[in-house]
Every structure is written in structure tokens, then in C-alpha cells.
Amino acid sequence: MLPYELKPADAAAVAQMLGRFELFRSLSSEQVGRLVPFVALHRYGEGEVVIEKDAAGDAFYLIYSGEVEVTVPGLLSEKVVSRLGPGQFFGELALLLRQPRSATVVAVEETDLFVLKSLDFEMVLERSPDIAALVRAVAKERFDAL
Ligand code: CMP
């Protein structure tokens, strides 16, 4: 099943939802409002794969609600390296390092994600050094843990 796109009532509602993310705390509400046309809100069902390890990276994800599990292949079965929840993000490593996806990410319950295409992700990072620094710091920790 494909994730389906949610259509929040209006741009103001989306801006308010985005404004809750720690990642955007350095932005004014006007700046958050400018992000609205670039994000899509997708709902994933329990067990749905959001990112497949080794696939090409084309988007960045922010968790609005729900939970995802990050796994890598282990000796006999998948090894869970992390669980991420509301306010957290993923999918940054492939975009920053221009490499295939480092892990598989699966929704463990109904999960709503804001999706930012890679070019738009790059634009946001270029325009906001604070966001870039935050994303890079988290990416470094995750990369070192791989
Ligand atoms: P990417 O490699 O693009 O796709 C898989 C994503 O899983 C990766 O970006 C990170 O966002 C995330 N990820 C990988 N390793 C970890 C980890 N140790 N902890 C949390 N998230 C991770």
C-alpha cells in the first residue's frame, strides 16, 4: 500500500504544525510559513516501509506523529538501531553524504510524516545555517553509530 497524502485544511494549519518542530525553532513564524509550499504530509500505516536501505535518497522526513524503527541487517535478522518519534527527523544522511540509504526505516504504528524533497532540503539548509548545523550534528552522531 502506498502512503497517502493528507491535505490539512489550509496553509496556516501546516505552518502551525511545522512551527512545533525543534528543528525550526530558529525561524520566525513568517519564515516557517515560507516552508509550507515545499512540504507534503504523508500518512504511513503500521509496518509500512518509508526508506529501504541502499535505495537512492530523494527526500527528508520529519515525524509529526507516530513512530518509526530504524534497522540495519544483522547476522540473522534485522537489528534495530533506533526508534524515532514526534519532532525527530530522518533521511538526512543519504542527502548530506550523497550516498545510498544507510538503513531501513519502517513505521511501527500509523505515522504522519512531513516530506521534503532533496532539492528543497538543500535549499533550506543553504538558507538557514542554524538548521544546517542542527541537522549536521545529528547526522554525525548517527553516522558514527553505524
Ligand atoms: P539515510 O541514510 O538517508 O536513510 C536511513 C536513515 O536512518 C538515515 O538517513 C538516518 O536518518 C537514519 N539513521 C541511520 N542510523 C541511525 C541511528 N543510529 N539512529 C537514528 N537514526 C539513524
- By residue count, the chain amounts to 146
Per residue in 101-143, pLDDT (tens digit) is: 999 999 999 999 999 999 999 999 999 999 999 999 999 999 9
Q: How far is the CA of 56 from the centre of ligand 1 (A)?
A: 13
Region 3-21 average pLDDT: 85
Question: pLDDT value at position 2?
Answer: 55
Per residue in 52-95, pLDDT (tens digit) is: 999 999 999 999 999 999 999 998 999 999 999 999 999 999 99
Mutate to test the pocket of ligand 1, among 81, 98, 134 (most ligand atoms within 8 A of CB): 81
Q: 110, 66 in Cβ contact below 8 A?
A: yes
Mutate to test the pocket of ligand 1, among 101, 102, 106, 113 (most ligand atoms within 8 A of CB): 102
- What is the Cα–Cα distance from 126 to 107, expressed in whole angstroms? 29
For ligand 1, is residue 139 a contact (CB within 6 Å)? no
Q: 49, 122 in Cβ contact below 8 A?
A: no
Q: How far is the CA of 146 from the centre of ligand 1 (A)?
A: 9
Pick the range with the lowest mean pLDDT from 3-7, 30-34, 51-55, 125-129: 3-7
Scored b (16 or more CB within 10 A) or e, 70-89 reads bbeeeeeeeeebeebeeebb
